[in-house]
Chains A and B, each alone.
Chain A
Amino acid sequence: MSVETHEAVHRHEPPTSFIRKYIFSLDHKVIGIQYIILALVAVIVGMTMSVLMRMNLSWPGTNWPILGTLFPAGAPGGIMNPEFYLSLVTMHGTIMVFFVLTTAPQGGFGNYFLPIQIGAEDMAFPVLNMLSFWVTLVGFIVILAAIFASGSASTVGPIGGWTGYAPLSALGQIAGPGQGLGMNLWIISIAIFCVGSLLGALNFITTLLNMRTRGMTLMRMPLTCWAWFTTAVLALLSFPVLLGGGILLLLDRLAGTSFFIPGGLYVSGILSGTNPSFPVHTGGSPILWQHLFWFFGHPEVYIAILPGMGATSHILSTFARKPIFGYRAMVFAIFAIGLLGFFVWGHHMFISGMSPYSAMTFSILTLSIGVPSAVKTFNWLGTLWGARIRFTTAMLFAIGFVSLFVAGGITGLVLGQTSLDLPMHDTYFVTAHFHLVMGVASIFGMFAATYFWFPKVFGRFMSEGMGKIHFWITFVGVYCIFVPMHVMGIVGMPRRFSSFTEYTFLSRLHPLVVFVSIVAIITVLAQFLFYFNLIWSIFKGKKAGPNPWDATTLEWITPSPPPHDNFAGVLPTVYRGPYEFAVPGAPNDFVMQTEPETEAERTGGNGHNGHRH
């Protein structure tokens, strides 16, 4: 391995004070870790909420004294009430989608590794980068505040699901518990989050376009970089629309406008305009909110999963010891998914009262998005074909990603069809589909990334033993949780019901509901092993060198952990593609991107101009 020194870029000295180094740091690596810590905290909150929800569904009416103590209004006497359950649904969804699935893959891993993988010292705008994290953190604090602001009103946050459909979300306190201050804070939190993500996206795009090192052409970038780049583009173009929608919603609630609230509503015994608590409204369109929300909401799904796809490609190739199969096709597929992702939002609204003709168009576009997704799957399988697979924990999770991505994604073929949406809409089939594909698969991508890059970040390996136990329980667990949910959906079990005891047609599902809850609790407990492994390995893990996995990309040429300016003042030069494994005739089974062309390559290659510097 050699790093050709072309010009010594003046070296940035790291700041020395604790605050500048770890708190208000401008270093993309520290900011990346801050994002990951934020996600690790948020995911515990979201996961706890899901356990509470499962317990309420399988053992309704059970007394949980702790809950009664913590939330006397929401769980009087320790028994959860329906509004408490629904606010858990809302907060679980919001926290998971925004503060886990958007922050960890992009803000966390993207921030840490995008600059290193393209051979840059830092992001293009470090101050903006720091701001984007702190803005996001403020958003998180505001959403946590929503839990406590609603505490007296027997909920732990607003009631609206993560989609916050108007007019339920627009009417204010009058529409019932969970529609007061908590809902305002929910909207404000999301607006703040939008701003943070936009600053981040701007930075990612500029960095990638402007700061690639010498020789790092677009088609030599690791697929992770393509994924982060596309994700940033999606975020850049979709978050503003949500921000706009959020402003309109907030104005409807606070300024008495009628963007989403139609006239003549009669809510909780009060006719619009006859009482100061319910000002007069006219002519608003509830469906307009859905359009604005889903124009963002659908790309958001890809914002969550694309980085996982990138990490999976990267890790599969590395541990298959084989070049990625169809690099170009992978890049095109990422872009096709991103592009099509902007034109399919209507499939969330087939039964909303939208024009049935546009529903048909959305349906066909939706099923076309399965094509690039399938292409990616085929290429992953192609990568494993003829490989020499090393089963590290990271690789297990990457393979798990492929398996779960197929399992979760393929049912999109059902949900994307207009007519099949009639029975399936808003049932557990939908819940199962998106949890598998955008929730669990994305998280598997991030687990793989964590086990893979941990040695780079901390200079120590994570424990493989604990990692493998974590993988087996989680992999089997998520299948056992989410596959039965499809069946619940077929029977007709609706989402967002705090209890199923009202309906006789659902009673036969009770054994499945209980089974899912038990597995969910076991799977959640297994995650604490991951947390323990994370902390234990920082201090006690086996020491790792600069390139512990025999990988090829730029993050592996620099020490572990990397110095403040990533490459110690010497920017690398790139000579070849990112996944040169098993090259015939090469001394090792991997060739680093920085490995200069050999004499044979230079003279043998017909007509390329790779002259020396």
Chain B
Amino acid sequence: MATTVTGTKPLTQTRLGGGSKSRGPNGNGSPKRNGHGHAFFDARSSANRYRIGMWVGMASILMLFTGLSSAYIVRAASANDWQPLRMPRVLLLSTALIIISSITLEFARRKFKNAAQSAHKSLLAVTTLLGFGFLASQVFAWNQLAQQGIYISSNPHSSFFYLLTATHAVHLLGGLAGLMFLTLRSRLRIDDELAAAKGQAQTDAVTLYWHFMDVLWIYLFLLLFFWRQV
């Protein structure tokens, strides 16, 4: 019986397992990560999970909206029953509010880094208020439309308007919960490196999510009212 398969370098006794540097089809991987134990397990690396988790979660939310957007585009083209809505003006206010809130939150995040806790807290409070302001403005827009007799079943554009804004609002509520979590958290004293790294990572994650909600809203706004008004 052959001892090796054609094309594979025979591994001698002196080059067992992880010792092989060849990146051939073997299962040993590269040994180079063995050496840096400390960096691998420090608090920052462990806290990184919040940032990674947020990116992963955002990918999934992005797919939800990609699915709904493609439904929007297909549905718009599938029949001639599409009646474009007139944009409720208050949506401009929503847009302004969420953009500003994104900026204030970014400052809040940087203030956390600089350990300026009081500025961090007040900026968080401002952002939270702006977030609620955005939601109030959205609710106002829905009311306005309802008063004009435009409901979710009125025509495909209004269906998608209510659906997309409501889905966005539900996700934004998650962001508001995150902001309130950060607010609660900012009252805790940070006394070790692990807690600091964790706090920073969580702040980063929530901020990232909030920016995502901001950009998502702008995208939806453009899609709903500026994309090829059919």
- Seen from chain A, the residues whose Cβ lies within 8 Å of a Cβ on chain B are 6-7, 9, 124-125, 198, 201-203, 205-207, 209-211, 214-220, 236-241, 243-245, 247-248, 251, 255-259, 262-263, 279, 282-285, 288, 291-292, 295, 323-329, 382, 386, 571, 573-580, 583-586, 591, 595, 597-598, 600-611, 613
Contact = CB atoms under 8 A, between A and B. Distances in A.
A243 B62 CA distance: 12
Nearest to B167: A247
Contacts of A606: 21
B160 to A, nearest CB: 9
A237 B16 contact: no
Contacts of A325: 5
Interface stretch (B66-74, B111-119, B127-135, B174-182): B66-74
Contacts of B40: 214
Contacts of A257: 152-153, 156, 159
B32 A125 contact: no
Contacts of B11: 584
Given A214-B34, A577-B28, A601 B15 contact: yes
B18 interface: yes
B15 A237 contact: no
Nearest to A601: B19
B79 interface: yes
A602 B35 CA distance: 13
A584 B13 contact: yes
B84 to A, nearest CB: 14
B127 to A, nearest CB: 24
Given A125-B49, A202-B60, A285-B75, A611 B35 contact: yes
Nearest to B32: A609
B63 A218 contact: no
B21 A243 contact: no
Given A202-B60, A323-B27, A576 B17 contact: yes
B56 A217 contact: no
A425 B76 CA distance: 30
27 contacts: A206-B49, A210-B48, A217-B29, A236-B59, A239-B60, A240-B60, A240-B63, A244-B71, A251-B163, A257-B156, A282-B79, A284-B79, A288-B71, A575-B17, A577-B29, A584-B11, A597-B17, A597-B19, A601-B15, A601-B18, A601-B19, A606-B21, A607-B21, A608-B31, A610-B19, A610-B34, A610-B35
Given A198-B60, A288-B74, A327-B27, A6 B37 contact: yes
A214 B41 contact: yes
Given A214-B40, A256-B153, A576-B28, A244 B19 contact: no
A213 to B, nearest CB: 8
A573 B56 CA distance: 27
B149 interface: no
B74 A285 contact: yes
Contact of B37 (A210, A214, A327, A598): A214
B193 interface: no
Nearest to A289: B71
Given A210-B46, A237-B59, A326-B25, A608 B159 contact: no
A575 B32 CA distance: 10
B56 A202 contact: yes
A606 B31 CA distance: 12
Given A210-B45, A256-B152, 14 more contacts: A124-B52, A124-B53, A202-B57, A210-B52, A217-B33, A245-B67, A255-B152, A257-B156, A328-B27, A329-B25, A579-B27, A585-B16, A601-B15, A607-B21
A576 B11 CA distance: 14
B16 A259 contact: no
A552 to B, nearest CB: 10
A-B pairs, 3 with minimum CB distance? A283-B79, A604-B14, A219-B29
A6 B40 CA distance: 12
A608 B71 contact: no
A209 B3 CA distance: 36
B56 A205 contact: yes
Given A124-B49, A220-B28, A206 B56 contact: yes
Contacts of B79: 262-263, 282-285
Question: How large, as a class, is the contact surface on chain B?
Answer: 35 or more
A207 B24 CA distance: 27
A206 B57 CA distance: 10
B42 to A, nearest CB: 10
A238 B66 CA distance: 11
Contacts of A258: 81, 153, 156, 159
B33 A215 contact: yes
Interface string B151-192: 011011001000100010000000000000000000000000
B2 A600 contact: no
Given A284-B78, A324-B27, A586-B16, A215 B153 contact: no
- The listed residue with most A CB atoms (<10 A of its CB), out of B27, B56, B79, B159, is B27
A285 B78 contact: yes
A283 B156 contact: yes
Contacts of A329: 25
Contacts of B3: 584
A475 to B, nearest CB: 28
Interface string B113-148: 000000000000000000000000000000000000
B123 to A, nearest CB: 27
A534 to B, nearest CB: 32
A585 B13 contact: yes
A118 B221 CA distance: 43
Contacts of A211: 49
Contacts of B53: 124-125, 202-203, 206
A602 B19 contact: yes
Contacts of A608: 18-19, 21, 31-32
B229 interface: no
Nearest to B82: A283
Nearest to A9: B41
Contacts of A595: 17
B75 A259 contact: yes
Contact of A241 (B20, B63, B155): B63
A198 B2 CA distance: 47
B153 A255 contact: yes
Contacts of B49: 124-125, 206-207, 210-211
Nearest to B14: A604
A387 to B, nearest CB: 11
A323 B5 CA distance: 12
A406 B67 CA distance: 33
Contacts of B159: 251, 255, 257-259
Contacts of A382: 5
A30 B180 CA distance: 31
B60 A236 contact: yes
A327 to B, nearest CB: 3
B64 interface: yes
Contacts of A245: 67, 71
B193 to A, nearest CB: 14
A605 B21 contact: yes
Contacts of A209: 52
A511 to B, nearest CB: 46
Contacts of B223: none
A359 B83 CA distance: 32
Contacts of A263: 79, 81
Contacts of A237: 59-60, 63
Nearest to B4: A386
